[in-house]
């Protein structure tokens, strides 16, 4: 079965071809980061317009790289939600029209399910069941993943997502959008232990997270140093922030491993690219004798490959495909609706 996947929920347009027998054949991606950087964040209207410009050339790239024709596609998967309504509409309208034209069905996919399953694209994938730490710009969740469509929420953030906390703290330190990756680079130049920031909910006894207080603590620190925002201060502050957030993410993940008794942890979403988070989790996994899996860096952030994969696995698991031609976006779509 050959599935075409289309992602357009935020500021990346991604199109990919996934073959159930041979795996990922191709994926093409365009990131709008440079376009939004000028405005300090994603401008929804500009995002939608850019998706419109990119979908057709990216589809041509994906087909050419995969050496397949449109007629060979068996189903078109696309991100139904959650995400920006206008941006989702572009991918949905394109996917539905395309499927109608080639007389094939569609399979609308939950964006987070794409992230959750993305580690299965790796050369050495995890096997079910596993614990997933999903840390993206919009979500921070720990889940038990027993199979395709079998997800149990173990804990989530009560306010800001981890990526959001990275981006907001980066902004406070004067870094351009999207600051998460830049902040983590700056942190590597900082000295540990110069500033002590709170570890929110570290001892809450459950698997909930909260990061808005940490962001406020960064704001307070920045205000205290308003007159001497030196490069050293910024690097040390970035280091303090990263250490606090990494400690919370790691300790809660360890708690989830202990609670479930599972031996595999999967880290998905953009914050999964963070080097300190990876190094600390790898250390702990060695000590506690479990395995950690990360998607390839290019599949940590938004992409079409994870949507093609999720669509294909859903179809294989018996989720019915939908007749092409009807619109089905869901900008607000709690993952809980997919949960057991
Ligand atoms: O999964 P993703 O591409 O988008 C969402 O679905 O939200 O994640 C993007 C998030 C952003 O908040 C970005 O700042 C963060 O991932 N991010 C990082 C790093 N690279 C990307 N955060 C920390 N360290 C990084 N190296
Ligand atoms: Zn995402």
Please tell me what DSSP assigns to residue 155: E
Residue whose pair of structure tokens reads 């399979």 in the numeric block:
107
Expressed in angstroms and rounded, the spacing between residue 115 Cα and the centre of ligand 2 is: 7
C-alpha 52 to ligand 1 mean position (Å) = 24
- Block residue for tokens 């595999």: 264
User: Residue 260's Cα: distance from chain center in Å?
Assistant: 23
Helices (H) and strands (E) in the chain, counts: 11, 10
* pLDDT, tens digit only, all 340 positions of the chain: 999 999 999 999 999 999 999 999 999 999 999 999 999 889 999 999 999 999 999 999 999 999 999 999 999 999 999 999 999 999 999 999 999 999 999 999 999 999 999 999 999 999 999 999 999 988 899 999 999 999 999 999 999 999 999 999 999 999 998 899 999 999 999 999 999 999 999 999 999 999 999 999 999 999 999 998 999 999 999 999 999 999 999 999 999 999 999 999 999 999 999 999 999 999 999 999 999 999 888 898 899 999 999 999 999 999 999 999 998 899 999 887 887 5
pLDDT value at residue 340: 56
311 Cβ inside 6 Å of ligand 1: no
| pLDDT for res 297 | 86
Lookup: tokens for 142: 């720990």
Q: How many CB atoms are closer than 10 A to CB 63? A: 20
Which pLDDT score, from 0 to 100, does residue 178 have?
Answer: 85
User: 141: closest CA among 208, 198, 82?
Assistant: 208
The closest-lying atom of ligand 1 relative to the alpha carbon of residue 268 is 1
Contact 326/315 with Cβ under 8 angstroms?
Answer: no
**pLDDT at residue number 334:** 84
Report which protein residue has its CA nearest ligand 1's atom 19. Answer: 181
Residue 338's pLDDT is: 81
User: Does the Cβ of 114 fall within 6 Å of ligand 1?
Assistant: no
C-alpha to C-alpha distance for 314 and 317, rounded to whole angstroms: 5
Distance separating alpha carbons of residues 107 and 5, to the nearest angstrom? 9
> From the CB of 166, is ligand 1 less than 6 Å away?
yes
Contact 107, 77 (CB under 8 A): yes
Half-sphere exposure of 22 (CA within 13 A, CB side): 6
């Amino acid at each position: 079965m050959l599935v075409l996947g289309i992602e357009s929920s935020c500021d990346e347009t991604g199109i990919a071809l996934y073959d159930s027998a041979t795996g990922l054949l191709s994926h093409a991606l365009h990131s709008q980061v440079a376009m939004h950087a000028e405005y300090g964040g994603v401008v929804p209207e500009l995002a939608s317009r850019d998706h419109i410009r990119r979908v057709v050339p990216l589809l041509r790239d994906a087909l050419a790289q995969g050496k397949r024709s449109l007629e060979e596609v068996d189903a078109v998967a696309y991100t139904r939600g959650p995400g920006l309504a206008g941006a989702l509409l572009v991918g949905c309208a394109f996917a539905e029209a395309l499927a109608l034209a080639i007389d094939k069905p569609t399979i609308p996919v939950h964006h987070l399910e794409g992230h959750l399953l993305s580690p299965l694209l790796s050369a050495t994938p995890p096997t079910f069941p596993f614990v997933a730490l999903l840390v993206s710009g919009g979500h921070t969740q720990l889940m038990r993943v027993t199979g395709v469509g079998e997800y149990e929420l173990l804990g989530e953030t009560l306010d800001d997502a981890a990526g959001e906390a990275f981006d907001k703290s980066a902004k406070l330190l004067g870094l351009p959008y999207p600051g998460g990756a830049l902040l983590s680079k700056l942190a590597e130049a900082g000295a540990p232990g110069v500033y002590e920031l709170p570890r929110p909910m570290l001892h809450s006894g459950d698997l909930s997270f909260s990061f808005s207080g940490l962001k406020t603590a960064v704001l307070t620190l920045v205000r205290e140093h308003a007159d001497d925002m030196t490069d050293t201060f910024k690097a040390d502050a970035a280091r303090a922030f990263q250490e606090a957030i990494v400690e919370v993410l790691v300790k809660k993940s360890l708690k989830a491993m202990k609670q479930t008794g599972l031996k595999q942890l999967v880290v998905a979403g953009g914050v999964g690219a963070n080097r300190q988070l990876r190094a600390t989790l790898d250390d702990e996994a060695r000590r506690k004798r479990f395995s950690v899996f990360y998607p390839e860096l290019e599949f940590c952030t938004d992409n079409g490959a994870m949507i093609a994969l999720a669509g294909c696995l859903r179809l294989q698991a018996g989720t019915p495909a939908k007749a092409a031609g009807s619109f089905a976006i869901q900008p607000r779509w709690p993952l809980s609706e997919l949960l057991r």
